Structure formats: structure tokens, C-alpha cells
Structure 1
Amino acid sequence: MRIFISADMEGVTGLVDADDVQPGGRDYERGRLMMAEDVNAAVRGAVAAGATDIIVNDAHGPMRNILPESLHPAARLIRGRPKHMGMLEGLTSEHDAVICVGYHSRAGALGVLSHSFMGHEIEDIWLDGRPVGEIGLAHATAAAIGVPVAVITGDDCACTEMTEWDASVRTVAVKYARDRFAAALRPADEARADIEKTVAAGLSALPRASAAAPGPSTLMVRWQSASVASTLLGIPGVASTDSRTVQAQGALPSLYRLFGVWMRVAASLTNQPPYC
């Protein structure tokens, strides 16, 4: 069994603030170790379920958060950027399941460290008219590749968002949002034991999956800056719906990769801190 783990950071056990998850933050070094421990719990669960090949993609920020020496030896790490497929770099149709560790709710939700990919630079995203964030877009892209998302971990708001998108995905709430930068925390050992148990159970009862029927999807993004939207119109196939909103049609996962290009353009035009 081949398992792909996409590891974000905002939804990791114990972390609630930008200083916990941004390089240079006063608690970042502790945060990256907490991230590795949540990932390792998922790896242990995968091994218990019979996984023989486990890839972990460091999917947060600079994508160099997990120290290689802190990762469980049963897993291999994809580290650094740029990555053409971003948070899903390395996922192929040969994988049997995706595990999302440390994920968070989309922009506008009152979840811990909620945002959609770029802090407040991205105000809203829609996929085929449906509001979406990192959770839904990762799920839809994995489904297009033909791989089911089996488990997601994060705060309770992230878990609710996943359940609303696909109720068959198992969830582990490692903390309960009180506000965007505050949460009631589960004890770390308890949360990680739950991650390990849920991953093992989820992988032992995987649904059959096949790649979604080919066909175009529509991705629409509203940016905080009209400058970003205006610049993106120079990319063939990108159209505007208003001064700050652009859209494009295409088949996933190619559309997911195109969205990564949009974000790189936006990053070159703005210098906004991720959590404002």
C-alpha cells in the first residue's frame, strides 16, 4: 500500500499563532517539531495498516519546515520549493490514499489561522461555483488523479469543512477554535494517539477510487489586490469577472498547477505578511 501525506502546519497540535508557524517566529522552532510529531503519528498509523511506501510532502510556507532527521524512518520527505503541484507534489495515481495532516479552514472561516493559500491576499476561491479552500481543492485534485483522501487532521473548523465537502473522509480534531488565533487544545499525546488510530482505521477501510471523468472545471479567485487580477489577465485562458476576480477553465489536476502559477505571480507583486 502506497500512502501520500500532505503536511501543512496551521492545523498542527498546539499551534495557534503566526509566531508558531512562520520561520523567524519566536515559537517556530518548537512548532516545526510539533508538526513532525503529528506527521509521525500519521506515519505510524499508516505502517500499522500495512503501508509499505509512504511519501510526506512538506506543504507549508517555505516547505522546509520538517527537519529530515525528525521524520519517522518509514517515510520519505519531499522538501523545498518551488513545486509544480504545491501541496500535492509527488501524488500520483499509483498511491492508494492521501492523508492531510495539519490542515486549516478556508479564508473567512473563524478557524485557527484560517486562510486560503496566501494569507489575506486571496479573499475567496470557488471551484465550479462552490466555495473552496485548501481542503476542498486538495480533495478535488486528488479525486481527479484517482486517489481518495482518507483522513484529515486539524482544528474542529477544518474537520467540519472537510465533512461538508466529503462526509466519508475521517477527521481528527486536535484543537477547538475559540477565534482565529486562539484554541482549546487537546493534550498532545492524546491528539497524536487519535491521529495514529484514525489513520490506521481509515486505511484499513479504503473506498475504491477511480479518476474522475475528464471534463473542465472552473476555478475562480477573488484577490485582495486589483493589481494581481489585472496582471493575471496576461496569462492565456484567464478572464476577469470584476476588477479583483479572475477565472479559468481546465481539467484537474492541470488547473491546480495553473493556480500555483497564479500564486507565484501574486507573490511577485505583493509583500503581504500571511496573517494580517
Structure 2
Amino acid sequence: MRVYVSADMEGITGLVDADDVQPGGRDYERGRSMMAEDVNAAVRGALAAGARDVLVNDAHGPMRNLRPDDLHPAARLVRGKPKPMGMLEGLAEDYDAMVCVGYHARAGVPGVLSHSFMGHEIEDMWLDGRPVGEIGLAHATAAALGVPVVALTGDDAACAEMTEWDPSVAAVPVKYAHDRFAAELRPAAEAHKAIEGTVAAALTPLPPRPAPAAAEVTLTVRWQSTAVATTLLGLTGVTADDGRTIRVSGRLPSLYRQFGVWTRVAASLTGQAPYC
């Protein structure tokens, strides 16, 4: 069994603020350690279920948050950026399952450090008219490859978003949002035990593989800046709904990769910090 782990940071046990998850923040180094502990709990769960190969992709910000020497020795690590597939770099059809660790709710949802890919630059996103953020887009892309998402960890808002998107995914809340930068924290040892046990159970037995998607889907994004929308209209297939909202149709996972180009263009135009 081969298991793929996409590891974000905002939904990690104990972390609630930008200073916990951004390089240079006063608690960032502790945040990196906490991230490794959550990821390692997921890796232990996968190994307990019989995984022979576990690949972890560092999917947060600079994508250099996980220190290789902190990672479970049985796991391989994809680290650094840019990556063509960003948060899903390395995911392929030959993986049996995907686990999302440390994920967060989409923009506009009252969850801990909630946003969609770019802090406050992306105001809303839709996939075929359905509100979507990092959780839904990752799930849809994995499904298009025929890889089932089996488990997700994050705050209660992220877990609720995953359950709404796909109730078959096992969700592990490691904290309970009080506001965007405040939460009631689950004790770390308890959270890690829950992550390990839930991942093991979610992989035993393996869930059925979704049928790889062949149909086109439409991704719509509303930006804060008209400059971003106007610039992206120069790309083939991109059309405008209004001055700040653009859309494109295509097949996943290629569409996911194209969206990564959008975010890099937006970052070069705005230079905004990830969190307001």
C-alpha cells in the first residue's frame, strides 16, 4: 500500500496565529516541531495499517517547514518550491490513498487562519458552482486521479468542510475555533493519538478507488484585486464574470496545475502578506 500525505500548517495541533506558521514569526520554530509531530502521527497510522511507502509533501507557504531530521524515518519528503502541483506535488495514480494533515477552512469561513491559498487576496472560489477552498480542490484533484482521500486533520471548521464535501472522509479535529486567530486546543498527546488511530482505521480496509474523472470542470475565482483578474485574462481559456472574477474550464489535475500559475502571477502583482 502506498500512502500520500499533504501537510499544511494552519490546521496543526496548537497553532492559532500567523506568528505560529510564518518564517520569522516568534513561535514559528515551535510550530515546525508541532507540524512534524502531527505528520509523524499520520505516518505511524499509515504504517500500522500496512503501508509500505509513505510520501509526505510539505504543502505550506515556503514548503520548507518540515525539517527532514524531524520526519519519521519511514517516510519520504517532498520539500521546497516552486512545485508544478504545489500542495499536491508527487501525487499520482499509483497511490492507494491520500491523507490531508493540518488543513484549514476556506476563505470567508470562521475557522482558524481560514483562507484559500493566498491569505486575503482570494475572496471566493467555486468548482462547478460549488464553494471550494484548498480542501475541496485537493479532494477533487485526488479523485480525478483515482486516489481516495481517507482522512483529514485540522480545526473543527476544516473538519466540517471536509465532511460536507465528502462524508466518507475520516476527520480529526485537533482544535476548536473561537475566531480566526483563537481556538480551544486539544491536548497534544490526545490529538496525536487520535490522528494515528484514525488514519490507521481509515486505511483498514482500503476504501474503493474513485473512477478517474474525464469530464471538464469549471473553476471560478474572485480576487481582491482587479489587476490580478485583468492580467490573468491574458491566458488562453480564461474569461471574466466581472472586474474581479474569472473562470476557466478544464480537466483535473491539469486545471489544478494551471491554478498554481494563477497564484504565482497574483503573488508577483500584489506582494501582500498571507494574513490580514
What's the CA shift string for 1:37-77, capped at 9, x where partnerless?
00000000000000000000000000000000000001000
Q: Where does residue 163 of structure 1 map in the other structure?
A: 163
Letter in structure 2 aligned against 1:117 = F
Letter in structure 1 aligned against 2:259 = F
User: In the TM superposition, what is the alpha-carbon distance from 1:240 to its structure 2 partner?
Assistant: 0.5
User: In the TM superposition, what is the alpha-carbon distance from 1:106 to its structure 2 partner?
Assistant: 0.2
Gaps of 5+ in 2: none
Q: State the distance in 2 between where 1:55 and 1:209 align.
A: 19
Q: State the distance in 2 between where 1:2 and 1:29 align.
A: 30
Matched position secondary structure for 2:218: strand
Q: Where does residue 223 of structure 2 map in the other structure?
A: 223
Q: State the distance in 2 between where 1:215 and 1:49 align.
A: 33
Gaps of 5+ in 1: none
Matches within 5 A, 1:63-212: 63-212=63-212
Q: Where does residue 50 of structure 1 map in the other structure?
A: 50
What's the CA shift string for 1:54-111, capped at 9, x where partnerless?
0000000000000000000010000000011110000001000000000000000000
User: In the TM superposition, what is the alpha-carbon distance from 1:205 to its structure 2 partner?
Assistant: 2.7
Q: Where does residue 38 of structure 1 map in the other structure?
A: 38
Identity %: 74
Letter in structure 2 aligned against 1:265 = V
User: In the TM superposition, what is the alpha-carbon distance from 1:207 to its structure 2 partner?
Assistant: 1.6
Q: State the distance in 2 between where 1:5 and 1:128 align.
A: 26
What's the CA shift string for 1:120-168, capped at 9, x where partnerless?
0000000000000000000000000000000000000000000000000
Letter in structure 1 aligned against 2:119 = G
**Stretches (4+) displaced over 2 A:** 210-213
User: In the TM superposition, what is the alpha-carbon distance from 1:271 to its structure 2 partner?
Assistant: 1.3
Q: Where does residue 248 of structure 2 map in the other structure?
A: 248
Matched position secondary structure for 1:39: helix
What's the CA shift string for 1:196-220, capped at 9, x where partnerless?
0000000113221143330110000
Q: CA RMSD in A?
A: 0.6
**TM-score, length basis structure 1:** 0.99
**TM-score, length basis structure 2:** 0.99
Q: State the distance in 2 between where 1:35 and 1:188 align.
A: 11
Letter in structure 2 aligned against 1:111 = G
